[in-house]
Structure 1
């Protein structure tokens, strides 16, 4: 009798675990999160796992349509309003119930210039790099993007900082409560990723260029950091704002595995445009010395529909060299200088 009960319990446990695993795989995603008055098609809704009969829910459902191919579109009237974004609930039916998610659909007023402020706009303003103020400065200047760096604390909280250490503390080996006590040189607290994204999402003109830092503790932790970053971006509904960059090619591929539609660029500089295109990356983001040595990669990348970003260019001569070769983006500590060159 005891063995029978154990067998029944095991069967019930296995069934519950299988049910949970199936539900865990049933997720919804969207191929694009923006619209404009002239481009009312948004993106294609996708379901991972056995999800069917997608439908729109919530107070904004009437502003959107979903065709048989699950292509989402906003009504022309809603697209022309001053509203910067709409939250839309999407629901799908499964064999065991329903799944739903909320997507933030953002009016595309993002700036199209070539200026990416490296760690925000901090140098001329004499403020702290990677601070909220540096982000606000980049937005106020009118930069296409503000680049920033993300590490994970010992207890898996995400913080924005360039180096792996700050004020003598190794971020990956320090609890978040200790890191939260740190003050930057401008008096701000060390920002969490959540605080940085929340600030950046108050506008829809400057994109947030998120670098997933390579862990000093090994590949497994880099992968865990990558997963945590995407979970945070998804939870905050920040997909429309965020582009990803990384030095670790496996991290780039992990981002694409978690979100095939994510805009991901590779930083290290040892891969040809052909390989990046084969792995469906968004672009290359190489040190200026790499692209000066391999100048043909610029045209080759763009021929393959990859974007070309270059870092970190701070002098007028090199900035001009890459502008003349039509680099898509230039990451710089001198966004004011680059903006002045573009204005002339």
Structure 2
């Protein structure tokens, strides 16, 4: 009797744990650099992440660079207000201030903020180094290790333009979901190299819509960036892509709500 009771309690515990880990939104909406445009927030800021979370986006995309002293920071461009990130120390970057008063966030700070909720995934793009391929690989490896250190795996999916960096991330954590951005690899090649899926520019997919079907048949995820026109949004929804990355998540939510 005790064994039966123990088994029943274990099943209830496992069921509740799985439910708790499956609370992320499923609505295809990925906020590009956070939800920044409508509210005039700085891109890749903590504030734009918080707005994406408030809107209920499935994911909030952000960009990661490595400073000269090997600190991972969140910023889209290779420079912060004219200061090159890869050749500057983190302390030097702190002399700059974002328009809303924030300082450039470290990856740890950004992930820590994102982990305060369980509705919006964190879509981490690690940028290819402008210095060399080895540095690109290091950024990929360090990004994954930072996620592991914070135990943030369930929040984070990865995207990158660096094929070498992507493969390094997969080698660092074979369970990591890594999608490729450049648009020069077929779904079959991505599958062979262990990628989770593709995240290609809308122009690439307009030219090669068959890649969406091929990826779906191979069990890969499909995403398009940066999709701001209503026509493109509807076209992608008709093709049942997994995700749509946009500067205007509010518009995409409105279109989805009417379908």
- For 2:138 and 2:229, the matched residues in 1 are separated by 37
- For 1:254 and 1:228, the matched residues in 2 are separated by 10
- 2:62 counterpart residue number: 148
- 1:247 counterpart residue number: 161
Deviation at 1:78, TM superposition (A): 6.2
SS of the equivalent of 1:227 reads helix
Select 1:158's aligned residue among 72, 75, 95: 72
- For 1:263 and 1:76, the matched residues in 2 are separated by 29
- 1:174 counterpart residue number: 88
1:77 aligns with 2:13: yes
- 1:131 counterpart residue number: 45
SS of the equivalent of 2:113 reads helix
How many residue pairs are counted as aligned between the two chains?
250
Which structure has more relative contact order (CA 8 Å, sep 6+)? It is: 2
Deviation at 1:77, TM superposition (A): 3.2
- For 2:230 and 2:245, the matched residues in 1 are separated by 13
User: Normalization by structure 1: what TM-score?
Assistant: 0.70
- 1:94 counterpart residue number: none
Q: Which of the pair is proportionally richer in helix?
A: 2
| Shift in CA distance, 334/280, structure 1 to aligned 2, threshold 3 Å | same
- For 1:75 and 1:147, the matched residues in 2 are separated by 36
Report if the CA contact (8 A) 2:141-2:165 is conserved: no
- 2:144 counterpart residue number: 230
Deviation at 1:181, TM superposition (A): 2.7
Task: Give CA deviations for 1:209-256 in whole Å, capped at 9, x if unaligned.
Answer: 000100011111111212221121111111111101010111111111
Report if the CA contact (8 A) 2:63-2:75 is conserved: yes
- 2:246 counterpart residue number: 332
Deviation at 1:75, TM superposition (A): 4.6
- 2:178 counterpart residue number: 264
Deviation at 1:187, TM superposition (A): 1.1
- 2:4 counterpart residue number: none
Task: Give CA deviations for 1:270-321 in whole Å, capped at 9, x if unaligned.
Answer: 0111111111211010000000100111111000000100000001111111
| Shift in CA distance, 273/182, structure 1 to aligned 2, threshold 3 Å | same
Counterparts in 2 of 1:169-318, with a 5 A limit? Answer: 169-318=83-232
Q: Which of the pair is proportionally richer in strand?
A: 1
- For 1:200 and 1:338, the matched residues in 2 are separated by 22
Report if the CA contact (8 A) 2:139-2:165 is conserved: no
Report if the CA contact (8 A) 2:57-2:120 is conserved: yes
- For 1:305 and 1:192, the matched residues in 2 are separated by 33
Bigger CA radius of gyration: 1
Deviation at 1:80, TM superposition (A): 3.0
Structure 2: 5+ residue stretches without partners: 1-6
